Structure 1
Amino acid sequence: MANNIVWHEHKIDKQARAEAKKQKPCVIWFTGLSGSGKSTIANILEQKLHAQGKQTYLLDGDNVRHGLCGDLGFSDKDRVENIRRISEVSKLFVDAGLIVITAFISPFRTDRDSARQTLDKGEFVEVFVDTPLDVCEQRDPKGLYEKARKGDIKDFTGIGSDYQSPLNPECHLKFNGEDAEQSADQLIEQLKQQGYLD
């Protein structure tokens, strides 16, 4: 951390922003293999929440790598830094009173745990999109698994790099041929039951 910096307290705080928006700010953190359906379900979820009048922001892995994380590769070190940056951005958006939806492979448990720890208790909702590797490979919407199997992509999660499944996610979606819209509805029900949505 840099020297000679001081945290400035603001008169308008997270609670005031949340009350103005009439919602509980949190991070809904999607994790799962490439091709698992994270981005698809996250996008549908945001549309449904927007229709309910919720104020949201969706951070998607590929989109963020076009700007904020455009200088990072896919080594383990770069993956850790990618998730660190997303965690800090998510924290700022939660402070603004938003419901933040993130869709990142985020393969390492320690990184997801660190993301959770940047937030206050009850603000981090881990959503495991549990899709078997063989199903993800069959879908392979970007052709990445095929390239990884040929050796054209190194350190690809699930092939050359490890994916550590969540041990106790707040929400667990088995997505093996299920309808994405129904999965989003199922997730909304889980979020309501746990008090994240009214």
Structure 2
Amino acid sequence: MNKSQSMSMEMPAIRPYGLALSNEARAALKSQRPRCIWLTGLSGAGKSTLANALEVQLNQSGFHTFILDGDNLRGGLCSDLGMGADCRRENIRRMAEVARLMVDAGLIVIVAAISPFRAERETARRLFAEGDFIEVYVSTPFSVCAQRDTKGLYQAALEGRIKDFTGIDSPYEAPLAAECSIDTQDLELDDACARLLAILLNK
């Protein structure tokens, strides 16, 4: 078979296999309503800190959880991706698909990722049933995030050593209708967690 013949062959149709165990059955075993809590905001806004504190509180209350942190996934699942716009879109697509699978498994999933583009976050939302995707805008101002600069990234970006850095030479599109907005400059960590717990338990 020559190359042209190989390229003209159709790919086999993908037919999802019907699983015997339902998502509801997995959730019932854990006695919880699975959901995805998506924390978005600038680098240094406090997303990972908030995600970790929230997971600890949920765990202590008997909930089954997992955190998908943007930096952590960059070291494995998304290690092949760069930082340009197309790679960032693919990064968020992969995170959203993994989060959906974990919600299907019955977990409360906390995503902590800059996820700068509004369209990609809305695409992620559409993967979930109504009410199962909770967007949290960690709205800490740019000036505060740049001052914190815990990883030295803002300084590197301002000096031109990092390109396409969100908030400097790459845009961040703030949510238009997030379920919750938290400014870690004004709100203590315990109070921020309490606000998210209230949304989870009452929604």
Q: TM-score, normalised by structure 2?
A: 0.92
The letter of the residue matching 1:11 is: A
Task: Give the alignment of 1:72-111 within 5 angstroms.
Answer: 72-111=81-120
Secondary structure of 2:111's counterpart equals strand
**1:182 partnered with 2:191:** yes
Displacement, 1:53?
Answer: 0.6
Task: Label 1:81 to 1:62 Cα distance change in 2 as closer, same or farther (>3 A).
Answer: same
**1:139 partnered with 2:148:** yes
Percent identity, aligned pairs only, is 50
> 1:165-190 deviations in whole A, cap 9, x for unaligned?
00000111122143222211222123
Q: Distance in 1 between matches of 2:190 and 2:43?
A: 19
Q: Which of the numbers 47, 60, 74 marks the counterpart of 1:65?
A: 74
**1:23 partnered with 2:32:** yes
Q: Which of the numbers 35, 46, 51 marks the counterpart of 1:42?
A: 51
Displacement, 1:32?
Answer: 0.3
Q: Distance in 2 between matches of 1:152 and 1:84?
A: 27
Secondary structure of 2:48's counterpart equals helix
Secondary structure of 2:138's counterpart equals strand
Q: Distance in 2 between matches of 1:95 and 1:184?
A: 24
Q: Which of the numbers 107, 122, 126 marks the counterpart of 1:117?
A: 126
Q: Distance in 1 between matches of 2:187 and 2:133?
A: 25
Aligned length: 193
Q: Which structure has the larger Rg over C-alpha atoms?
A: 2
* Consecutive unaligned residues in structure 1, runs of 5 or more: none
Displacement, 1:114?
Answer: 0.3
Q: Distance in 2 between matches of 1:142 and 1:178?
A: 22
Q: Distance in 2 between matches of 1:181 and 1:149?
A: 33
